[in-house]
Amino acid sequence: MVAWSLRLGTGLFTYASLVALLDRPRGTLLAPESLLEVRPSAVAGLGLFVTQDLRAGTVLGTYPGLVISLNDPRVQQKANQYPECQTYIWRFSDNSALIDPTNGVGTLDDFCRSPTAPFLFRVATTLCRINEPPKGKDVNVVTDEVLNERIVVLRLERDVVAGEELFMDYGPQYDRSAYR
């Protein structure tokens, strides 16, 4: 009986360890949630707005989601089956990995969860609601990739005032053909 309990305990520990290392969403919301508000955007869908004045240099957090190698066959399968997921996927500049905050059907929930242990690991997707600015507006959020850690830090480029929507540049690959 003791041997069986030991095997079961070891197996569960190994499973949880592998999930924690390989299948755990990453990302951290460093700004207090009371400073940020998700609401309808004049640009597209939902946007992220500040609820009070914030200073340039304020770190909002790191981009949330599962870090996945671009060689993983699930990446292309999901992109083909659910193309809307690409709106939220962060592709690292070295083109070897991405961060995917979307669920199994390519939509963005309030939390990104581990596919194999959704009850154990989840990360808020609030920072995924930052839109790209419309024509004539500039960004107020900049990103810094830390490639060796596979994280993307989001921080304010300039002072922002209460009620202002946050905007960042989506990069040269982003399709802007629908912009007016």
What CATH number is given for 1-166 in this structure?
2.170.270.10
Residue 27 one-letter amino acid: G
Question: Average pLDDT, stretch 7-34?
Answer: 66
pLDDT digits (tens, 9 = 90+) for 23-66: 788 888 888 889 999 999 988 889 999 999 999 999 999 999 99
Q: Which residues contact 116 (CB under 8 A, 6 or more apart)?
A: 19, 23
pLDDT surpassing 60 at residue 173: yes
Q: What is the DSSP string of 35-72?
A: GEEEEE-SSSSEEEEESS-B-TT-EEEEEEEEEEETTS
Torsion angle in degrees (nearest 10) through CA of 93, 100, 88, 168: -40
